Amino acid sequence: MDSHRSAELRRQIAEARRCRQCGSTYAQEHVYVLGCREALWAIALKCSACGAQAILFLNEPPPYTHELTPAEEQTFFNMPPIGRRDLYTIQSALNAVEDDISSLWQ
């Protein structure tokens, strides 16, 4: 995993993303890069204001070749929150992994 790119993603996400529960920005130390496999990044977020957690899957190239425009920021902000079905899907996928989960991003 590219540590420089990882640090840059953490900074950009902390600046651009807002908690879907309370609208707070994320503290950079609460943006966790779980791993990267080819162009897919898995990132966990924890809101320091309300404790809500989220998981992001980002494909490169972009989305972070530039700062979000107001329209992009509004689009992301208006996306529906992660629901039980999403979490169940992720859990099922992770349960199917027999190796260390980090092997998904190597």
Binding site for Zn ion (CB under 5 A): 19, 21-22, 24, 47, 49-50, 52
C-beta closer to Zn ion: residue 74 or 106: 74
Angle at 100 between CA 96 and CA 101, to 5 degrees: 65
Strands (E) located in the chain: 31-37, 40-46, 53-59
CA within 13 Å, CB half, 97? 11
Distance in Å, CB of 65 to Zn ion, minimum: 27
C-beta closer to Zn ion: residue 6 or 25: 25
Distance in Å, CB of 19 to Zn ion, minimum: 3
**Distance of alpha carbon 43 from alpha carbon 17, whole angstroms:** 12
Distance in Å, CB of 30 to Zn ion, minimum: 10
C-beta closer to Zn ion: residue 27 or 40: 27
